[in-house]
Structure 1
Amino acid sequence: MPLRVTFLGTSGAIPTTERNPSAIFVAREGDQLLFDAGEGTQRQMMRFGTGFSISHLFVTHLHGDHVLGIPGLLQTMAFNDREEPLAIHAPHGTRRQLKSLVNALGNRPSFPVRIDEVGDGDVAHRANEYEVRAFGTDHDARSVGYALVEDDRKGRFDRERAEELGVPVGPKFSKLHEGEPVELEDGTVVEPDQVVGEPRPGRTIVYTGDTRPTTATIDAADDPGLLIHDATFADDRAERAAETAHSTARQAAEIASRTGADRLALMHLSSRYAGYTDDHEEQAREVFDGDAENVFVPDDGDTLDIPYPDADE
């Protein structure tokens, strides 16, 4: 089952000719989710072929570079005769502002829009075999990050062991894999734990939005396949990062190391670094895994498939 991330916008507060403000598109099987919607997000969705069939929009905070794309996106959805409801999740205390933004053009959307407020530890969205959890972040506005966490999968079925125990090939295999004991013709009962291994972890994506480095990100999920972390500044602006409630690339890497992340995407780059990201990547790799594939500054339009943790086994 594919889990794919498309980076629609990777710039900081000011867009550049190469980078749009923040927006992350996630597709999991038939579900399509959007995290933040900076100015021009609808154009990025058209440009990179994601379509507009999102069911949930997760907003980290209400700074313009994370939400100004919402009115235009909703209008485009209405022009496309959308009827399906859209749920927007945002930090506690922001509902009134967000409602004003949704109705900014003077008309209510032609389809249902629900606004839910979430805080640290809340399950923002529960779906089939995964959930999206909110966690607290440290920014100069009401803010949260989000972790998409899949449920554990069934353990591997040991067919060879089942046959050794006398289980006939057929429906009894499926019952055992589903956790049901089976009885053989001689009356012997075979229990699932005799032929089924330990549950296997699913995949996890963590997106911080804008934040200083915080332990809440570390607590949000263990060993994520991808951590998308604020890295607005390089070391040359570390003091500025602290003053403006952002992180440096090095700080993002330190958090990634502590979470056990497989990959780190450095996001929300200040426009002062337009066209030059080498320092961000080099400084992050001094702390995190030095592999270029594991620490990177994504470009707008980049896509990434998240593998299962045991994919190589």
Structure 2
Amino acid sequence: MTLHVTFLGTSGAVPTTTRNPSSVFLKRGGDAFLFDAGEGTQRQMMKYGTGFDVSDVFVSHVHGDHVLGLPGLVQTWDFNDRSEPVTIHTPRGTKSKLDQLVRAIGSPTGFSVRVSEVTPGEVVLERDEYEVRAFETDHRTTSVGYALREHDRKGRFDREKAEDLGVPVGPKFSELHDGNPVELDDGTLVRPEQVVGDPRPGRTVVYTGDTRPVDATVEAADGADLLIHDATFADDAAERAAETGHSTAGEAARVARDAGVRRLALTHISSRYAGDVSALKQQAERTFTGKSVVAHDGLELDVPYPQ
């Protein structure tokens, strides 16, 4: 099952000629989601070929650089005769603002647009194989981050051992792999634990939106395969980061280190670094060596299963 991330917008509040406002596209198999939707998100989706088949949009907070792409995207969906419903998740207390924004053009859409409020700790979306949970962040307004965490997968099936135990090739293999014991023709009972290994961990992708470095992110990102973290400023602007509710590259790297994540993507990059992001990369690498990348618009990352 593929798990693929495309960065559609990686700028701070002010876009640049090469960075669009915040948006991340995530595709897991046949499911597709947006995390934030800054101005121009629909054009970025066209430019980077993600397609528009998104079922849910996860909004971290309602500052303009994270939501102003929604009216145009909703209108484009309508122009394309979309019929499937879409759910926009937003922090508690901000539903009315999102409702007004999405319906700013005044015309009803031919599909359902549901705005749902979320609170930190809540499972926002639950599917058979994974869930998306909101967690607390620290910005200048009501805000949340989101963690997509897959459930454990089945252990590996030892076909050779099953055959040695006399299990015939066929449906009984599937029964055992599904966790059910099977009885052989001679009355022998073979149990799943005899031929199926321990459950294997799934994958986790965490998106913080705009935030100060907080323990809640460390907890939500525990062992994550990919942490997408606010890194608006370099470390020499730490005071400015604190004043505006953002993080520096070094602070993001310390969160990644403390959470034990496998890879860190720095995003929401201030326009002051439009010409050179090397300082951000270097500062993250001091703490999180060999595992950090400064995201740019169009960057694609595959998230493999843990070994």
- TM bucket normalised to smaller: over 0.9
2:251 equivalent to 1:254: no
Could you list the runs of 5+ residues in structure 1 that have no partner in the other structure?
none
**Residue 296 (structure 1) aligned to one of 293, 296, 299:** 293
Match of 1:271 in 2: 271
Could you list the runs of 5+ residues in structure 2 that have no partner in the other structure?
none
Instruction: List 4+ stretches of structure 1 deviating above 6 A.
Output: none
Match of 2:79 in 1: 79
Match of 1:231 in 2: 231
2:152 equivalent to 1:161: no
**Length-normalised TM-score, structure 2:** 0.98
Alpha-carbon distance in structure 2 between the residues aligned to 1:111 and 1:163: 52
- 1:168 CA drift (Å): 2.2
- 1:279 CA drift (Å): 0.6
Task: Specify the code of the residue in structure 2 equivalent to 1:307.
Answer: P
Match of 2:302 in 1: 305
Task: Specify the code of the residue in structure 2 equivalent to 1:169.
Answer: V
Task: Specify the code of the residue in structure 1 equivalent to 2:131.
Answer: E
For 1:286, what is the secondary structure of its paired residue?
helix
Query: 1:64-103 CA distances to partner (integer Å, 9 max, x unpaired)?
Result: 0000111111111111111111100000000011111011
Match of 1:146 in 2: 146
Alpha-carbon distance in structure 2 between the residues aligned to 1:103 and 1:166: 64
- 1:185 CA drift (Å): 2.3
Task: Specify the code of the residue in structure 2 equivalent to 1:298.
Answer: A
> Superposition pairs for residues 8-23 of structure 1, below 5 Å?
8-23=8-23
Match of 1:7 in 2: 7
For 1:4, what is the secondary structure of its paired residue?
strand
State the aligned residue count. Answer: 307
- 1:298 CA drift (Å): 1.5
- 1:275 CA drift (Å): 2.2
Task: Specify the code of the residue in structure 1 equivalent to 2:76.
Answer: T
Q: Percent identity?
A: 65
2:167 equivalent to 1:182: no
**Length-normalised TM-score, structure 1:** 0.96
Q: Which moved more, 1:138-147 or 1:118-127?
A: 118-127
Report if the CA contact (8 A) 2:221-2:261 is conserved. no
Alpha-carbon distance in structure 2 between the residues aligned to 1:123 and 1:40: 29
Report if the CA contact (8 A) 2:205-2:227 is conserved. yes
Q: CA RMSD in A?
A: 1.0
Report if the CA contact (8 A) 1:149-1:221 is conserved. no
Report if the CA contact (8 A) 2:121-2:134 is conserved. yes
Task: Specify the code of the residue in structure 1 equivalent to 2:279.
Answer: D
2:119 equivalent to 1:119: yes
Match of 1:67 in 2: 67
Alpha-carbon distance in structure 1 between the residues aligned to 2:298 and 2:264: 17
For 1:239, what is the secondary structure of its paired residue?
helix
Report if the CA contact (8 A) 1:102-1:108 is conserved. no
Alpha-carbon distance in structure 2 between the residues aligned to 1:170 and 1:108: 53
Alpha-carbon distance in structure 2 between the residues aligned to 1:161 and 1:51: 44
> Superposition pairs for residues 75-114 of structure 1, below 5 Å?
75-114=75-114
Q: Which moved more, 1:3-12 or 1:160-169?
A: 160-169
- 1:182 CA drift (Å): 0.9
Report if the CA contact (8 A) 1:228-1:264 is conserved. yes
For 2:287, what is the secondary structure of its paired residue?
coil
